[in-house]
Homo-oligomer: A and B are copies of this chain.
Amino acid sequence: MLEAKLAEAGTLKKLLDAIKELVTDANFECNEEGLNLQAMDNSHVALVAVHLEAAGFKRYRCDRPMPLGVNLSSLTKVLKCAKDDDECTLKAADEADVLNLVYEAKNSDRIAEYDMKLMDIDSDTLGIPDTDYDAEVTMPSAEFARIVRDLSALGESVRIEVSKEGVRFASEGESANGSILLKKDGEPDRVLTDKEKKAQKARERGEEPEEDDEEEGDEPKEKKIKKEKVKKEKDVDEDVEMDQEEKDEEEFKANSDDEEEKSEAGDDDEERAARSGRKRQTARPSLPRKPKRPRVRERRTRRTSPALFNFGMNSHVSLTFSLKYLVNFSKSTSLTNTVQLRMSNEVPLLVDYDFGQGFVRYYLAPKIGDE
């Protein structure tokens, strides 16, 4: 059975808002490490991968892996019945055919409980290759959203080009062409490999070289360049926002936040494989239960406002994408202040929204030629 208590129902609501237009039905694969969802969009052009870490929940228990086949519209409806700051507990018995959701208002005696029917969904869980990209751009998620929204008013597609000059988004339309250039001071950094990043993160966290990151734990090359970058940005964020919440562990925690997740995500290939192996779609039993949710120590509120822009490149990259999809991806903006774009020529773009308790990643194949 699954029992997972989230401190803020708002997290789930935002998550659903972000993906529900792209995907109508999907399996939430539950296992001891958390919840994962992976699905092609309805037109099978883009791929969405969501991960909610077990550690991001206030309480998390999953006895054995199971898929929960959810109609996202239904789940959205049910989630609308929760206030953003309600604690939200998801429960499902083994073989359950319903998902039980309990909302508890933080300071009241109000407890709402919903049972949502589950469905059997053929999951075509595709492995996502763990790629090293030639260019990585980290920017404020709101700015990315603005750019793709603006350009989508002009044309159908956008060419994203990363060069020493900066990052350029250019679109051509019938009545107008547009081009936005984001520059940064200094040279672009080199892009780290995943391993390097892992090591780097670990270092930032104060952990030494080895960790839990493991599976392939062989060659932790690390990169510091990246690290510094990250640090810098976080500091900025914290200054800006953290005051509002708590001050104490900011540095430490903040650092570990965001990118930490990334690395984990990177490694979850193993998990993914495992999961997909297990994957079966069965009916789920229903059961209700309610949890309560304390307020978690999410330092993760990290916010961004200012210069969260940075990029690195190993080689010049120029790719063209459908703006329609990018605009859709940018619905995840409310989840976190920064977004990371990772690209290599002729390879699908990865748009990565990494928030405290997990991530939403979108993959989109580039257009070829000049369609």
Q: Which of A38-46, A173-181, A189-197 participates in binding chain B?
A: A173-181
- Hey, which chain B residues are within 8 Å of A176, CB to CB? 74, 77-78, 114-117
* Interface contact B80-A153, CB-CB below 8 Å: yes
Asked if A112 is at the interface (CB within 8 A of a chain B CB), the reply is yes
Q: Are A112 and B175 in contact (CB under 8 A)?
A: no
What are the residues of chain B within 8 A of A114 when measuring CB–CB?
154, 176-179
Which residues on the B side are within 8 Å of A200 (C-beta)? Answer: none
| Interchain nearest-CB distance for A306 vs B (Å) | 9
B residues less than 8 Å from A175 (CB atoms)? 71, 74, 77, 116-117
Are A178 and B78 in touch, CB under 8 angstroms?
A: yes
Instruction: Please tell me how many copies of the chain the complex holds.
Output: 2
A297 contacts partner chain B, Cβ-Cβ < 8 Å? no
User: Could you tell me if B116 and A81 are in contact, using CB atoms closer than 8 angstroms?
Assistant: no
Which residues of A, 48-107, contact B by the 8 Å Cβ criterion? Answer: 71, 74, 77-78, 80-81
* Chain B residues positioned under 8 Å from A182 (CB to CB): 109-110
Chain B CB within 8 A of A184 CB: yes
0 or 1 for each of A94-137: is its CB under 8 Å from B? (1 = yes): 00000000000000011111111100000000000000000000
Contact: A77 with B153, CB < 8 Å?
yes
Residues of B close to A178: CB separation below 8 A: 78, 81, 112-115
| A150 close to B (CB within 8 Å) | yes
